[in-house]
Structure 1
Amino acid sequence: MVLIRSLILSASVAALAVLGNAAPTPSDSMSIEPTPTAHHEPTPTATTEPNPGQPDTHTDACGVLASTNSTELKYKHVVDCYNAIPFDSAQAATTLSTVLTLFKDYYVFTDSALARTAPEPFANAPHDIVGELEKIGRSKYTSDYKFHNDILTAVTRLGDGHAAYQINCYQSFVFVQNLSLYAPVVDGEQASASVRVYLDAAKRGYDDCIVETIDGEDALSYLRNYARDIHGVSHDPNARLNFMLASQTYDTASGIFIDSPGDFSQRGTVPEGPYLDYQLKCPNKADTVELREEWRVLPQIETSYTDAASYVANVCVGPPETATPPAEGGVLRRRDEPVRRITKRAESEPTPPPTGPQFPSADVLVTGNATVFYHLKDQPNTGVLVCHTFLPSDVEAEKDVILAGLTAFHAHNVTNILIDFQGNTGGSIDLSAFLVQMLFPNKKPLDAAFPSDMRVSKSLQDLAKLSYNTSDYGYFNAHDFINLSNGTTVYENNDLFDKPITQNRNGRNSLWTEKTTLNFPPIDSKYITPAASFPWTAKPENIRILTDGRCGSACGMASYFWTALHNVAAYAIGGTHGEDLSMFSFAGASVLKLSELQGFFKAANLTSPMTDLPYKNTITFSWLEMYGHGREIPLEYDAELYRPKHRLGFTPENARSREVLWKEVVAAAWK
């Protein structure tokens, strides 16, 4: 069983010909304008800030960027360099062909994204990703940056945290504002006056000043519009708002919660302009404060370059990567267990808490790479399990940490557990399923599994035939899936992929596997046996979940199981006061990188239908979609399952102290 342990969890309708489908060639779908051959002499640097996406005639812009001290970098330096990258129509055609094939033949939500209705808490409009990509192919481009940015926008609009288009060439710098913001509920209300400065990194005394306007617009309206129109990650604009705003994040290196600026104040892509204008009202100042805050620019690369040509060669393209050689004889190999990192015993033990407690009334009992166990001294029958990620350095070691933490709770007479999932954007499905079963042990083998299916194409069928029962290189091995038509046994042949069924979703016909599910291994008795004696085991009244909607992927899966199947109550905090907020985001799929899929084809000695992209990249997509139990809508779009039982708002007090927040939730949960 190799699959589960390695899985990691973001116009007109055109009919798809799924089997044997290939992306259109440049001649029949693309009108990308060829690169101009005329030579342009350098022009003086513009005195006004350029608009990203507009071509710049300064041919040495990347040289200026390279020669500028990192502490003196400006927005203009980066934008000028990005706009100086020459457009190559052949590279653009290759890129678009590959991305279009990926979203036609492998991405599972291409058809579901066309849905015309979005029940609350969702607010996403129908999005035809294939149509958008084909439209890009028909457009004329002279700017390489504009071309790639249009693809990025098309993918981001899916609102799927598993779908990402990241080109190193145009994400080599981070843009940071000195002001990070939050939107607390004050005196039971959340209006424009509720937007405040969470932290002023420049230490000018603006902390907790009221932000009245941003770029001349009411601050709360500005942030809500930005979350609605620009920011991806979730179908819920209020969950996106929480991603944007400042929060506290657990730092494993220091063992404490630290302030995180949020995606609005710290961006990996070029912002809309060189600065933001703020109007602040501060309690210690009589007059309104007018601030024009330029974006600080932080380089994320150490690669050397001297001009646009060397920037393309060294940053965008980079040195060639060594391809994974095919297995002996061209046949995929299989191993029943993943290769584990051999560690010394001391490295697997729970690490001791940091010197000096961060919270006076919350003792740290056990810490790991993904979980921290706190005991509330003022509420001694309550423990807080902070699960800040499902992606530890060692999944098996983290299972031991979880058992040690729960055992420590039991030793301290804890009977109630609050699980804090804030900011947990996912990770290992295996660890997620393990945690679910440690609190609610399986009654049936499929209790920890989701009904699932996959999009089928001719190239996927070819890969699946070679993958069957022979290798752990790829995820398309039918022997790693349960055959639901005959009970709970794995597939003993390749029928899962060889016999697809036709489905019409939102007016588009596609081929799919029949419903199946991942083959989760049973939990070792060394974990289940002690868990059976804990006073909270299988008792929903003794367990609560705290989330801010930034609980993604594997975290969302755990939340779904506890709330939908085991009736555990969840408290969702933040977003917009008085509106719904999702408990979790992008919970309905498993993620795969394009480079991994290409590696599967290479390992199988098969020719991929997609060409490797010219530029270094991280392109991810959802390859396996999941359903709630007894549901027909994919979990990714099943808004009803995202609603929490309880809503809370951040306040100036609890937004900066998890200890304060935990006490509030515990007091409300167990009166």
Structure 2
Amino acid sequence: MKITLSLALLATTLVSNATGSPLTARAKDVCNQFGNNGEWVLWDKAMNCLESFPFNTTIRDEVLDYVEKTLQFYVFLDEAKNFDKKYSSHVDLIAGLEKIRQTNYTNDYSFNVAIETLFDSLNDGHTTYWNRCYTPGDASWNFRLPFPIVGLSDGDKLRFYVVNAYNDNSPLWDSDMPDYLKAFKKYTNIDPAIYVGSEVIAIDGRPVLDVIKEFADSEVSISRDPSTRLNIALANSGPYNTLGAFTQRIKTKKPANATVTYTLLPIKKTKTKTITAPWLALAPPISSSADYWSNTCLYSSGESGGADLRSRHSQLQHKPKAKRGVNSVAPGLINPLVPCDSSIPGVTFLMGISWGCFSQLDNETAVLAINQFMEPPKGSLEVELKDGFQQLEKLKLTKLIIDFSENDGGYLLNAYELLNYLFPKKPTELYFPTDIRINPLVPKLAAAAAAQNQTGSFWHYSSWADPTTGKAFTSANQFPGTLEEFTRGGVKGKYSARFIENFELNLKPSTTFRYKPSDVIFFSNGFSFSAGALSARYFQDVVGVKTVVIGGYPGQPQAVSTTAGGQIYEIDGDISYLGLAGDPDAPKQPSVVVTVDFTIREAYGHNQPVSNNAVPLEFDWEPATYKIALTSENVFRPDVYWKQVKALMENNQ
């Protein structure tokens, strides 16, 4: 789609409505204030710009029509409406979109926040809505506070502390931190580093737990498990938002107020200190509102509607091997560390692999830590894993801790290579059976993929195999196959026949070195996501490996993984590639850049027969075998919590 004259006029009209007549727009332009390279600015300056684009009913209808048609592929569309078991769901997306359509918003930003909030209520990390105007994907419009926080158990309660994030030795440091600290000090004359280790007594005059829980339950939408949402809201050792979702906001919805007031109790002090900290936003360079709207917000031909969730996370710079920190996280903690740090006391770093590492914990125990399955150069992960396990064999490390804390998922093929290497099974037992929701466009996509022989397409039958025999599909009649009719969420819908992956696994299991299930234990902080979640359920349900989770709410059972929905997907590319962009059943790209990522297929446990009552893994909650409290001794200390995990393994022998 080209930006036609009408779209150019629309951009001019939008900016004119927001800032006055075109002749006076330059003098009143609230977006042309951020410098040639962008800068950290105060909340009000950022929000004045973000809220300056007016609400437009034509764009509203384009966006909502696009979202509604896209959601016909969402496999949990009906299930989400009425699920009453553990962590129930009562979200009617279509009714919610209609309510948004009937609402008059004060600006375009508020309209997009309403859609994002509706999606957030699903707590399905695979299913998200993005508008590039407000989440450009390059860290622009990220909002940040100065004090990342951890929650540490004190009996049955949590106490909260400020974490070190202020020098490049900290695992929480990122490349934006120097400019952020410079700007924060300019606006406040406060050096946040002097408050590292302080206990956070209150936030905005309220108990800290109440504030964090309220935020986590309403805005951390990536998990159905409340303890996992809490862990994500707080500072963590993950590959992306290590400051925690409460401290750094990267979504469309920005903070509601300009400041946050902390009541802190500094280390070795008896009196509290009250600090009112402004939110700072990383504003992009903008020459004018009209220019920003045209170049960032409007859709142009030849571009995708947007990248998937993982690439948006990647805007936050990853620091895979942090050094030893010099400041305490909390009283009693000296060196904040992360799993693949090469200087963990008492732990021998053996080798790094793509997004992970092998380490030696003691004379019989190895640790394999992987924080995602991003696609490395072809074949390299298989070589790395094989080399790593050969080292473990030579060292006679017969016990294995698998650490998938903050594992963001990724390519299922890589995950299944690992699973099959450790505990090989035939395909019908290795792969979880899946299905998809049928809508009028599905058979057209499958037919087009077959007719064009697009063998790499999701929609080509050769991508899939029979879940009862394990044999690859050889005919277009097999996918989507004989349709099943189920009642989910009180709604009758049609679903495909079940199918499994048709992968060629190149990492062959060792014939000389095998672990028994009792010699392996799976560990995470609850955020083992997507491919990481399916891996966890394989270890847990199929192999019988014991599992351990850390953190969350004291005394509350918690799952070791989250979002095992089956597969994240974004439809626009395939529709265009297969020549169906003009089909009346296809979502039509609106004139602004929005993206809907969603769960396209649902995975089932092998014990779930094809029936109305089958519960997909996404809704089949399974708690971890053991739970470890996060304390001042083990927070950001892999050497400590891995030993705790090893002790649980020994107790299980």
Please indicate the TM-score interval, normalised by the length of the shorter structure.
0.7 to 0.9
Shift of 1:156: 1.4
Change (3 A) 1:605 1:395: farther
Choose which of 412, 427, 430 in structure 2 pairs with 1:448.
430
1:657 aligns with 2:622: no
CA contact (8 A) 1:590 1:623 kept: yes
Choose which of 412, 424, 428 in structure 2 pairs with 1:429.
412
User: What is the TM-score normalised by the length of structure 2?
Assistant: 0.81
Q: Which runs of 5+ in 2 are unaligned?
A: 1-12, 167-190, 306-320, 325-339, 609-613
Shift of 1:356: 9.7
Choose which of 195, 202, 210 in structure 2 pairs with 1:206.
195
Partner of 1:195: 160
- Computed over aligned residues only, the root mean square deviation of the Cα atoms, in angstroms, reads 2.9
Change (3 A) 1:554 1:230: same
* Paired AA for residue 349 in structure 2: V
Partner of 2:294: 313
* Paired AA for residue 634 in structure 1: P
Distance in 2 separating the partners of 1:135 and 1:58 = 37
Partner of 1:144: 108
Choose which of 356, 362, 365 in structure 2 pairs with 1:371.
356
Partner of 1:15: none
CA contact (8 A) 1:426 1:551 kept: yes
Change (3 A) 1:596 1:462: same
1:553 aligns with 2:530: yes
Partner of 2:336: none
CA contact (8 A) 1:112 1:506 kept: yes
Distance in 1 separating the partners of 2:40 and 2:355 = 37
Choose which of 126, 138, 144 in structure 1 pairs with 2:90.
126
Partner of 2:53: 85
CA contact (8 A) 2:440 2:585 kept: no
Partner of 2:377: 394
Change (3 A) 1:371 1:653: same
Distance in 2 separating the partners of 1:39 and 1:480 = 49
TM-superposition CA deviations, 1:624-653 (whole Å, max 9, x none): 1111111210111111xx311001111112
Corresponding pairs, count? 569
Distance in 1 separating the partners of 2:405 and 2:482 = 41
Partner of 2:512: 533
CA contact (8 A) 2:201 2:264 kept: yes
TM-superposition CA deviations, 1:296-326 (whole Å, max 9, x none): 2224x5xx533222221122126542589xx
Distance in 1 separating the partners of 2:197 and 2:568 = 39
- Map residues 158-557 of structure 1 onto 2, 5 A cutoff: 158-171=122-135, 172-186=140-154, 188-191=155-158, 194-199=159-164, 201=166, 202-249=191-238, 260-269=242-251, 270-299=254-283, 301=284, 305-317=286-298, 319-321=300-302, 357-376=342-361, 379-394=362-377, 396-442=379-425, 444-468=426-450, 470-472=453-455, 474-484=457-467, 488-497=471-480, 499-521=482-504, 523-524=505-506, 527-528=508-509, 531-536=510-515, 539-557=516-534
Choose which of 622, 625, 634 in structure 2 pairs with 1:645.
625
* Paired AA for residue 77 in structure 2: T
TM-superposition CA deviations, 1:170-195 (whole Å, max 9, x none): 12311111100111113x3424xx11
Partner of 2:647: 667
Distance in 2 separating the partners of 1:415 and 1:486 = 34
TM-superposition CA deviations, 1:302-357 (whole Å, max 9, x none): xx533222221122126542589xxxxxxxxxxxxxxxxxxxxxxxxxx9x99994
Change (3 A) 1:520 1:604: farther
Shift of 1:601: 3.7
Shift of 1:59: 5.2
Q: Which runs of 5+ in 1 are unaligned?
A: 1-33, 43-55, 252-258, 325-350
Shift of 1:520: 3.0
SS at match of 1:170: coil
CA contact (8 A) 2:200 2:262 kept: yes
Shift of 1:451: 1.2
Change (3 A) 1:428 1:144: same
Distance in 2 separating the partners of 1:658 and 1:465 = 51
| Aligned-residue identity in percent | 23
Distance in 1 separating the partners of 2:147 and 2:341 = 29
CA contact (8 A) 1:374 1:383 kept: yes
Distance in 2 separating the partners of 1:396 and 1:607 = 41
Shift of 1:88: 2.4
* Paired AA for residue 239 in structure 1: T
Partner of 1:344: none
* Paired AA for residue 448 in structure 1: L
CA contact (8 A) 1:185 1:651 kept: yes
Change (3 A) 1:125 1:215: farther
CA contact (8 A) 1:590 1:624 kept: yes
- Map residues 504-653 of structure 1 onto 2, 5 A cutoff: 504-521=487-504, 523-524=505-506, 527-528=508-509, 531-536=510-515, 539-602=516-579, 609-631=586-608, 632-639=614-621, 642-653=622-633
> Relative to structure 2, which stretch is displaced further, 479-488 or 459-468?
479-488
CA contact (8 A) 1:424 1:550 kept: yes
SS at match of 2:116: helix
Distance in 1 separating the partners of 2:564 and 2:36 = 43
* Paired AA for residue 353 in structure 2: G
Partner of 2:188: none
Shift of 1:163: 0.8
Shift of 1:125: 3.9
Change (3 A) 1:587 1:102: same
> Relative to structure 2, which stretch is displaced further, 204-213 or 410-419?
204-213
